[in-house]
Amino acid sequence: MTIQIENAGIAVTPVQRNVWQAIGRGLACACPACGKGRIYDMFLKVNPTCGVCGRELHHHRADDAPPYFTMFVVGHIIIAGVLAVERAFAPATWVHMVLWLPMTVILSLVLLPPIKGALIGLQWALRMHGFGGGTDPANPEPIPTASSNERGK
């Protein structure tokens, strides 16, 4: 990937970002760039900038992916546990409810921030959604059409 600097004619190749390191830092809920600053201000509210290195973090677009990945992981853990306990002990239904409903809620709340952090780290490493320093290709400038130009005349 080469970035052209306007009016200077200089081509700059950006530094390669380590994807696995950024994902690991995100899993630790740390800034994907420096690994020292906190990525969250509150439970899932991302800091607009890193408090240590000043890197902008507001570009992220995690949207619905973290809850989906969290449900995927928690579902596999809970279903495996339910099946193992049922096969080994065959307890009453109320025992399953007492065990697995709170476990589902707790696991979901514990895993959601690191999973969201990992996705933000991945976006930063791959220079997605404005993390590359340029404009966001997901929100291109509207191109004026002939019909809109004719209306202005």
Is residue 75 in some structural domain? yes
Residue 8 pLDDT more than 80? Answer: no
Count of domains for the chain: 1
Mean pLDDT of 97-112: 98
Residue 146 pLDDT more than 60? Answer: no
Is residue 5 in some structural domain? no
Is residue 2 in some structural domain? no
What predicted TM-score, i.e. pTM, was given to this entire model?
Answer: 0.78
CA atoms of 46 and 37, how far apart (whole Å): 12
Is residue 91 in some structural domain? yes
Is residue 140 in some structural domain? no
Is residue 1 in some structural domain? no
In terms of residue numbers, what domain contains 123? Answer: 15-133
Q: Report the DSSP beta bridge partners of residue 11.
A: 4
Is residue 152 in some structural domain? no
**In the structure, what pLDDT confidence band is assigned to residue 6 with cuts at 50, 70 and 90?**
low
Is residue 4 in some structural domain? no
> How would you label 50-66 residue by residue, b for 16+ Cβ within 10 Å and e otherwise?
beeeebebebbebeeeb
Residue 135 pLDDT more than 50? Answer: no
